[in-house]
Structures are given as structure tokens and as C-alpha cells.
């Protein structure tokens, strides 16, 4: 499969390298597969927006299973699609179910999942697949994946990666008709408008790559030195940064999924830096180590952001652009009207700052 397609990060890395799997941005609708019985939902630890559901209990309905996680930008872009399909065809027997399967350890915490559902206004039934067993049973290696199950409980179609409503709607209607329903609604000509697209941006050819900085997925940083895993490292920065590499400055603990700021370095000003080639939106998956808020400053090309460059989660205090990190989430730090190339720098003010991933749109 061509690697110029958007990429999702695999759950299980190989040899400590960031393992990426290409997924189609807009596949030619859902892929038909040989009909096989849909596995029951296994080891689900909780449900949101519904009583516990089962494949057996859903027999008679057409089920669209959305395997996703709240920190995957490709998953977020399909939320409005799933919502519209449920609203449009729920009365005909469609049931969208979202199985939330964790990409990061913090996403196994049900409180974080519920907070993510509220942030994105998810009202469909959500299974807390905190052990990723549903994700595994349905043959997943990436986020998101959509599986279409007919009224007899057989998997009929699947779709890897995010897509537009045209990639799903015809197949949903086909299986509803097989179930004896007669949906007469006109097909959608365009995707629903939603604030998710405005906040997080749309994938486009040449957009900067998503980069996870934990040692389970990244072999090395752009800095000309080797970091020791799970230890405090003083990282020197020459100020010269190649494109689409992550650089550190100051003292950091390199962890399996992230880097955490550590005090006591020779350079008291720690930062995470990336010189990205093209984006209209810059996000950081960021959290804290102790559940307490952390403050960060955000700079672009060495300067604080201007008002028109502020992301949803950044603010100005005088001329200083900053954000408050309250929980592990994908924070929208920067926006521009057109794709642009810049160097973004994130400067933490406390040791509880934990950085996971740069994401672009």
C-alpha cells in the first residue's frame, strides 16, 4: 500500500522503532469481505451512553462498529460521520457502537475516556475496550477501523482509516435493505460540518508526520546524542534543527510512551521543538504525571504566538502565549489559514509536564 497515505501508529511497535501502518484517507467505500460471524464483545470493562450490549442481543440490527481512541486525529475526523449515520438511519435499524481501545496507557482510565467523550460530544454507545480485546478480536492493527455487521450477526464490510460519509453510506443502506428495511433518504453529497474539522484540520498531501516520542516508538531524537531510557538525560541543543524531527533541550526522562520534564539540568529552560514542513494546525498529545495542572509556553519561530495564530487551547497573557495542561489530551496549540512551515517550541514550567506526540492537520 502506498506510503503517501496518512498513517496511524500501531499498538505494538517493532524493535523500539516508531511502527507506522499506511491507511487510506478516503478508500473507495467499505471493503467487502467474506461473511464471518462477528466476535462477541470480550472483556469490556464498562459502557457509556448505554446499558451493556452484545452481538447476540443486537441481532436484527445492522451494526457499525467503530474501533477508535480519543487521541487519534484520524478517529476524531470520523466522529461526525458516525453521528450523522446514526441520526439518519437509526430509525431503520442501524446501531453505531464505538469501541474505545487505548493507544496510550492513560486512555485505559475510564475517567479519561468519559472526559474525551464529553469533549467530542459522543452520544452513541461506547464500549470501554481498555484491554484492547475487542480491537484484537476484530483484527485491528491501527486506528480507526470500522466494521459493518449485518442483521444476522455476520461481518460483511470493513474500512481501515478515516473516510468521508460516501465511504460508508451505500453499504449501510444495502444491509438495512437486506434486513427488510426501506430507507428512502437521499445520499449525502458532502461530509457534515463540524467544529472537529475546524479545530483539528483536515489531512492533505505533504502534511507533517505524526511523531510519537516514547522509546517504544521512536529510535532517537534529532539531537546529536543518545538518550538512556527511563533515566534523566541532559540534552544539549545546538539550535540547528532538521525538518520533521523532534528535538529536546534541557533535562528529560525518556519514557516508554513519552518524555517527562526533569529539574536540575545545566540549562534550566527545557523545551520540546519540531521544525515541521507543512500544516495548518499543530497539536500536542500532552498530559501530566501527577494529575495536577501544568503550564506551558508556546512559541513559533522563536516568538510567542499572535492572536490570529492561537489554537483552541492556547491563550495570551500580555504578549506571552501559553496553555494549561489539565489531563492527557490532544491540545490544539496553533492554527494558520493556509499550510505553512514553522518551528514550534513548547516550554514547560513544571516537572509534571509529560509530552507524548506531535500531531498535524
CA 314 from centroid of its chain's CA atoms: 19
Q: For 281-338, how does the pLDDT look when each residue is reduced to its tens digit (9 = 90+)?
A: 999 999 999 999 999 999 999 999 999 999 999 999 999 999 999 999 999 999 999 9
Q: Residue 37: is its pLDDT beyond 50?
A: yes
Return the pLDDT at 163.
Answer: 87
Considering only 115-124, 181-190, 262-271, which range has the smallest mean pLDDT?
A: 262-271
Longest dimension (CA), the chain: 71
Q: How far apart are CA 120 and CA 243, in angstroms?
A: 32
CA distances (Å), 35 to each of 54, 144, 152, 167, in order? 19, 21, 10, 19
Count the Cβ atoms, other than its own, within 10 Å of residue 186. Answer: 6
Task: Please state whether the peptide bond connecting residue 267 to the residue before it is cis, i.e. omega within 30 degrees of 0.
Answer: no
Q: Residue 120: is its pLDDT beyond 80?
A: yes
Q: For 172-206, how does the pLDDT look when each residue is reduced to its tens digit (9 = 90+)?
A: 999 999 999 999 999 999 999 999 999 999 999 99
| Mean residue pLDDT across the chain | 91
Return the pLDDT at 20.
Answer: 32
Task: Give 360's strand partners.
Answer: 282
Domains defined along the chain, listed by start? 7-200 (3.40.30.10), 211-360 (2.60.120.260)
Q: Residue 16: is its pLDDT beyond 90?
A: no
pLDDT interval class at 264 (50, 70, 90): low
Return the pLDDT at 19.
Answer: 31
Q: For 47-56, how does the pLDDT look when each residue is reduced to its tens digit (9 = 90+)?
A: 999 999 999 9
Q: How far apart are CA 120 and CA 220, in angstroms?
A: 33
Q: For 124-144, how does the pLDDT look when each residue is reduced to its tens digit (9 = 90+)?
A: 999 999 999 999 999 988 899
Return the pLDDT at 267.
Answer: 53
Return the pLDDT at 21.
Answer: 30
Return the pLDDT at 4.
Answer: 30
Q: How far apart are CA 215 and CA 279, in angstroms?
A: 25
Count the Cβ atoms, other than its own, within 10 Å of residue 57. Answer: 11
Return the pLDDT at 268.
Answer: 61
Residues in the chain: 361
Q: Residue 24: is its pLDDT beyond 60?
A: no
Amino acid at each position: 500500500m502506498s506510503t503517501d497515505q496518512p498513517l496511524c501508529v500501531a499498538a505494538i511497535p517493532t524493535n523500539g522503532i516508531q511502527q507506522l501502518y499506511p491507511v487510506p484517507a478516503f478508500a473507495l467505500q467499505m471493503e467487502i469481505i467474506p461473511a464471518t460471524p462477528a466476535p462477541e464483545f470480550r472483556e469490556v470493562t464498562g459502557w457509556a451512553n448505554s446499558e451493556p450490549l452484545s452481538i447476540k442481543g443486537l441481532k436484527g440490527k445492522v451494526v457499525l462498529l467503530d474501533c477508535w481512541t480519543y487521541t487519534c486525529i484520524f478517529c476524531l475526523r470520523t466522529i461526525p460521520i458516525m453521528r450523522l449515520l446514526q441520526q439518519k438511519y437509526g430509525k431503520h435499524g442501524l446501531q453505531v457502537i464505538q469501541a474505545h481501545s487505548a493507544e496510550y496507557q492513560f486512555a485505559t482510565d475510564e475517567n479519561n475516556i468519559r472526559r474525551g467523550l464529553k469533549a467530542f460530544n459522543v452520544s452513541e454507545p461506547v464500549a470501554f475496550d481498555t484491554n484492547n480485546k475487542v480491537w484484537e478480536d476484530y483484527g485491528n492493527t491501527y486506528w480507526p477501523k470500522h466494521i459493518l455487521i449485518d442483521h444476522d450477526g455476520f461481518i460483511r464490510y470493513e474500512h481501515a482509516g478515516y473516510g468521508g460519509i460516501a465511504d460508508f453510506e451505500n453499504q449501510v443502506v444495502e444491509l438495512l435493505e437486506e434486513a427488510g428495511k426501506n430507507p428512502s433518504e437521499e445520499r449525502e453529497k458532502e461530509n457534515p460540518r463540524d467544529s472537529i474539522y475546524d479545530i483539528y484540520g483536515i489531512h492533505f498531501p505533504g502534511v507533517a508526520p505524526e511523531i510519537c516520542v516514547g522509546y517504544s516508538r521512536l529510535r532517537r531524537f534529532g539531537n546529536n546524542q543518545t538518550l538512556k531510557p527511563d533515566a534523566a538525560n541532559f540534552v544539549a541543543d545546538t539550535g540547528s534543527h532538521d525538518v520533521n524531527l523532534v528535538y529536546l533541550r534541557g533535562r528529560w526522562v525518556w519514557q516508554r510512551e513519552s518524555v517527562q520534564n526533569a529539574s536540575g539540568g545545566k540549562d534550566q529552560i527545557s523545551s520540546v521543538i519540531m521544525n515541521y514542513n507543512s500544516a495548518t494546525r499543530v497539536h500536542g498529545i500532552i498530559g501530566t504525571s501527577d494529575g495536577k495542572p501544568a503550564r506551558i509556553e508556546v512559541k513559533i519561530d522563536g516568538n510567542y504566538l499572535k492572536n490570529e495564530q492561537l489554537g483552541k487551547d492556547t491563550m495570551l497573557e500580555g504578549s506571552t502565549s501559553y496553555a494549561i495542561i489539565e489531563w492527557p489530551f490532544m491540545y490544539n496549540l496553533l492554527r494558520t489559514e493556509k499550510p505553512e512551515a514553522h518551528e514550534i517550541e513548547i516550554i514547560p514550567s513544571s516537572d509534571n509536564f509529560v509530552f507524548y506526540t506531535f500531531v498535524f492537520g
